Structure 1
């Protein structure tokens, strides 16, 4: 990392621990769909974040989960790729649920990565419950835990100030490069939108599956080619009116059309 480049910061953790909620709070937008259904985020989501004089690129990832189904494997590979690419890892755990084996397995994975890791215990929204909810997580043998409520903001400034100490000052803009051409990929479910973007950029940026509705949220990818900058937007598949009954799918379609 140099002052001319922005650090990559990845949000990782099990499904439904609050990664997308924290992503939205850090980016000050609501770009990532948040729902109580585990596994809403599947692809990697990128956004530039500026905190005081520090700029970094934040990566939201799908929940790392055990399972032998195809989709779980795809999502896990996307998360592992983000860990490999990142300079700093923000690892979220659920303070209300407590420490479970899935958290411990991810901690072991992160220790092998030899990256700077922030161990964040989410869903703690007051100092009165902080000590009690943090207690089981000290079993991980870490030097510091970061209590947080991604939803309500408790502990957020403390976390960001701690993170900024590991970030270089950057001269990069926190917006898109001037003259960026936006290209949105629209179509029915499972017609190959994600596969086309993966082919264009030359890597598995999007989860691709024969399962209709694999892409649930619009995903932006910045591509530079022949002195031109492109923003490629992969969108959720759009089905005919009357065919959509699931509320999550309806929200995904509204975002695709927005």
Structure 2
């Protein structure tokens, strides 16, 4: 039986990824004080008091945005809410209730899910009375935490476990074949994954660097379980400037190490580059099997030296 699913949602920059990493016990989701850092759904298998569950981190929900990436992030968050058995709705205890919080609360009421209201950044619990303002959201009793200081996390997890059905708490062994999808930015890795699994699991856009985290997607075909790992495009060091970009590249190399086999996606329109060779070499050095996929073949002008 599948493990219960716990999804963390909220507007940007309230501390969702810090809480995710705290519960998971390791740095999986990128954390930085920049709204929109977490773009896709990030998964981790977690355990609390012998209760096993899948935790999902989501990008910040911007209810009324015209930005393409933020709009797609909202879609990703909605998918994660639909998948969830329990939703952790995180708000910022220092900022108080905002119009965006109200919009997210309305979205959750329509979803009719088990929701726990998490008031973050209550670092010293001195002004715990501030949490009472969040009753205005109509979600229920607020649970005060500080993700950064690890305060209140145990109490929060107790609340989460209390929401689980007894039938949910069955541990599953991960016997899937792990496949890392690697390649340069904008080679089409996310589009290939979406084609394989048949849903918009990963945000697809023509902006290089859209996939900043390594994202696990589990699926089954002909009785065999697989885990696809989509990664941030691997760039040359000279082109990596932002701290988020640096950490994303590290995550991509870590994904190769986790994988049983790698799919190297090459942009046919650009041809094989030195960077493609470097990526293939890293996989070879880690003794990984490899499948080379030449994407965007329709953009290549055909002649006697090409195959249709």
Superposition deviation, residue 142 in structure 1: 4.1
Give SS of 1:215's match.
coil
Q: Residue 24 of structure 2: which of 19, 23, 27 is its match?
A: 27
Q: Residue 181 of structure 1: which of 177, 180, 185 is its match?
A: 177
After TM superposition, the score normalised by the length of structure 1 is 0.93
Aligned to 1:115: 113
Aligned to 1:83: 81
Contact 2:21/2:27, CA 8 A, preserved across alignment: yes
Looking at structure 2, the residues matched to 94 and 104 of structure 1 have their Cα atoms a distance apart, in angstroms, of 13
Q: Residue 148 of structure 1: which of 138, 145, 149 is its match?
A: 145
For residues 154 and 227 of structure 1, do their structure 2 counterparts lie closer, same or farther at Cα, with a shift above 3 Å needed? same
**Structure (1 or 2) with the larger CA radius of gyration:** 2
Looking at structure 2, the residues matched to 171 and 29 of structure 1 have their Cα atoms a distance apart, in angstroms, of 23
**1:89-128 mapped onto 2 (5 Å cutoff):** 89-128=87-126
Q: Residue 134 of structure 1: which of 131, 135, 160 is its match?
A: 131
Looking at structure 2, the residues matched to 127 and 93 of structure 1 have their Cα atoms a distance apart, in angstroms, of 15
Looking at structure 2, the residues matched to 58 and 48 of structure 1 have their Cα atoms a distance apart, in angstroms, of 6
Aligned to 1:248: 244
Aligned length: 251
Could you report, residue by residue, the CA deviation over 1:185-207 in whole angstroms, capped at 9, with x for unpaired residues? 11111110011111111100000
Give SS of 2:127's match.
helix
Gaps of 5+ in 2: 255-308
After TM superposition, the score normalised by the length of structure 2 is 0.78
Give SS of 1:127's match.
coil
Gaps of 5+ in 1: none
Aligned to 1:171: 170
Superposition deviation, residue 126 in structure 1: 2.0
1:61 aligns with 2:61: no
